[in-house]
Amino acid sequence: MRNYNPTKRVLVTGGAGFLGSHLCERLVAQGHDVLCVDNFFTGTKTNIAHLLDNPQFELLRHDVTFALHVEVDEIYNLACPASPIHYQHDPVQTTKTSVLGAINMLGLAKRLGAKILQASTSEVYGDPEVHPQVEAYWGRVNPIGIRSCYDEGKRCAETLFFDYHRQHDLRIKVARIFNTFGPRMHMNDGRVVSNFIVQALRGEDITIYGDGQQSRSFCFVDDLIEGIVRLMGTTDEFTGPLNIGNPGEFTMLELAKRVLALTASKSKIVQLPLPADDPKQRRPDISLAARTLSGWKPQTQLDEGLMKTIAYFDQLLSSMNSAALPS
C-alpha cells in the first residue's frame, strides 16, 4: 500500500531534544512526513516551534517506556537524556528509557516491517584502553558506577537491536555518536561546550574538572545529522555499529581557552575535582564511516562551530535578560 507514495513516514523519538530537533528539521526539508515523539524531560517545544505549522510535521507527547501504536516506515530512536546532570537525576528511569524504549521501538518496527536506527553513544566504550576507538573495541565500562545507567543502558539497547536483527531479521542501524555540539543544546545540561560558553558569556569562572588534560572530540551537529541520515540510507546488509563524530581531539583546557578567545570574555579558568568514571580520552576512528557513507566526514571546524553555538547562547541569554526586566 505504501509503494504509490515516495514520501516516507518517519518517527523520531526524542525529537524535541538537541539532536532530535535538528534531525526532524532535516527530514521535513527532505519532504518526509515526520512524527516527533518526546516526553519533554530534556526536550523543549522551543526546539521544534518553527516546525509546528508545517503540515509534514506532527508532535506527540509520549514516553517511550510505554508502547506506542503508530504507522511509520522508518524509526530513529533518539529518546534518552544524554548529559550526566540529566541522566543521573533519575538513573532508574534513564535505564528504563534505554532498555524499555528500545524494546518498545523494536517491537513497533517488527510489527510494521520498518527500518530502525538506534542512537547509541561513544559511552559504550567507557574509559577506553584503545585510542582512538574503533567499532570492534568492546569497551571498558564500570557496570555499577554513577554513569552506568546511561553507559550500560545504551550497551543493552545495542544488544537488543542485534538480537532482534538476528532473531527476527529486522532491518537495523546502530550509530555510536561521539560528543556533538551546536545550537539548541540545553543551557544547563552540564556538558563541557555549553558550560564553557554560558560561563564565558556571563563572565563567570570557567570550571574545568581535574587538570584539564582529559581530551574529547567535538562534532558540529550538522555534520552528525548528515552522518546518521546517510547511515539510515545504507543497504540493509550494513547494520553498524558505526562511529559518527569528529576525530579532531582537544583537551578541556584547550577548549576553554578557545571559548575565552572567541567570546572575548574576562572569565577565569578554575579547577574542580574530577567526577567518578570520567573518561580520560575520547576520539573516534571514523575510517569505517568514510568508507560506508559515501566519503562522509565532518565539514565544520571547531572554531566555526563554536562561533555558531556562541551566537545561539548569546541570543538566548539576551532574551532571558530582556524577559527578566521589569515592564
H runs (alpha helix) in the chain: 18-29, 45-48, 84-87, 91-112, 148-168, 192-202, 221-232, 252-263, 287-292, 302-324
Could you tell me if 109 and 116 are in contact, meaning their C-beta atoms sit under 8 angstroms apart?
yes
Torsion angle of the four alpha carbons 37, 38, 44, 47, in this order, in degrees rounded to the nearest 10: -30
Cα(first)–Cα(last) distance of the chain, in Å? 57
User: Ramachandran region of residue 215, left (φ > 0), alpha (ψ -120 to 50) or beta?
Assistant: beta
| Kind and range of the H or E run holding 181 | strand 180-181
DSSP SS3 for 61: strand
Calpha distance 116→259 (Å, rounded): 37
C-alpha Rg value of the chain to the nearest Å: 19
Could you tell me if 149 and 204 are in contact, meaning their C-beta atoms sit under 8 angstroms apart?
no
What single letter denotes the amino acid at residue 199? Q
Provide φ and ψ at 262, rounded to 5°: -75, -25
Bridge-based pairing of strands 74-77 and 57-61 is unpaired
Could you tell me if 223 and 249 are in contact, meaning their C-beta atoms sit under 8 angstroms apart?
no
| Among 76, 87, 125, 150, the one annotated catalytic | 150
Calpha distance 218→157 (Å, rounded): 24
> Which residues pair with residue 250 across a beta bridge?
216
Active site annotation includes 137: no
Task: Scan for cell 588534560, then name that residue.
Answer: 213
Calpha distance 75→23 (Å, rounded): 12
Active-site amino acid positions? 150
